[in-house]
Structure 1
Amino acid sequence: MMSNPLPLALCVAAGVLLGLIFYGGLWWTVRRGLSSPRPARLFLCSALLRMGLVMAGFYFVSNGQSQRLVACLAGFIIARLAVTWLTRGKQKEDHHAPES
């Protein structure tokens, strides 16, 4: 057990950053994919890029330690909740926007 909580806090922060990149990228992809001439290519490339970045981030942050991996995953889940909450407000605004 680690006596210094700072490394785990940094792992949580790294997980939040990875989650914001992943879920923010997913939100961007969905919005762009609706009007893309090649949505399948956009979704595939986005998924591969986002998953690759997150997996590499988890690998480097964990440094082979399960406590760090769990802390990073906790941050990732926190970011998912935050992005869901933030984009839900955007979604409501988009539905109520006057059509041109």
Structure 2
Amino acid sequence: MNDLLMTLLVLLGGSCLGLLFFGGLWFTSKKMLDSKNPALWYIGSLFIRVGITLLGFYYMGQHSLKYMLICLLGFIIARFVVVRMTKIKEMKPITIDKQ
């Protein structure tokens, strides 16, 4: 396979892993607020997200440091994308009335 195509596929795969990991973290944080057992949500989500991410890195790395670093770059890019997408649009300051 062409090296450029493989590099782009690994970058895309790392981005998908990052979106899954950080998007799952955001989803878990939202679900924990309304859950009766938030620790179960947190631990379960942690194992699932880390497991999928490690398997993805192992598979896409293909015993090559170059592909592993490119996958990591895609993962980090996805972190910034998820943070930007889930940011609260406008925050209003809380005013305290002193009486």
Q: Does the TM-score normalized on the shorter chain lie above 0.5?
A: yes
Identity %: 37
Aligned equivalent of 1:20: 19
For residues 78 and 53 of structure 1, the distance between their equivalents in structure 2, rounded to whole angstroms, comes to 18
Quote the residue 2:69 is aligned against.
Answer: 70
Match of 1:59 in 2: 58
Partner deviation per Cα, 1:35-61 (whole Å, 9 max, x = no partner): 100000110000010000000000000
- Give unmatched runs, 5+ long, in structure 2: 93-99
Name the aligned partner's letter for residue 67 of structure 1.
K
Q: TM-score, normalised by structure 1?
A: 0.86
Report what 2:38 is aligned to. 39
Q: Of the two, which has the highest radius of gyration?
A: 2
RMSD: 1.5
Q: CA deviation at 1:5?
A: 1.5
TM superposition score normalised by structure 2:
0.86
Number of paired residues?
91
Moved segments of 4+, more than 4 Å: none
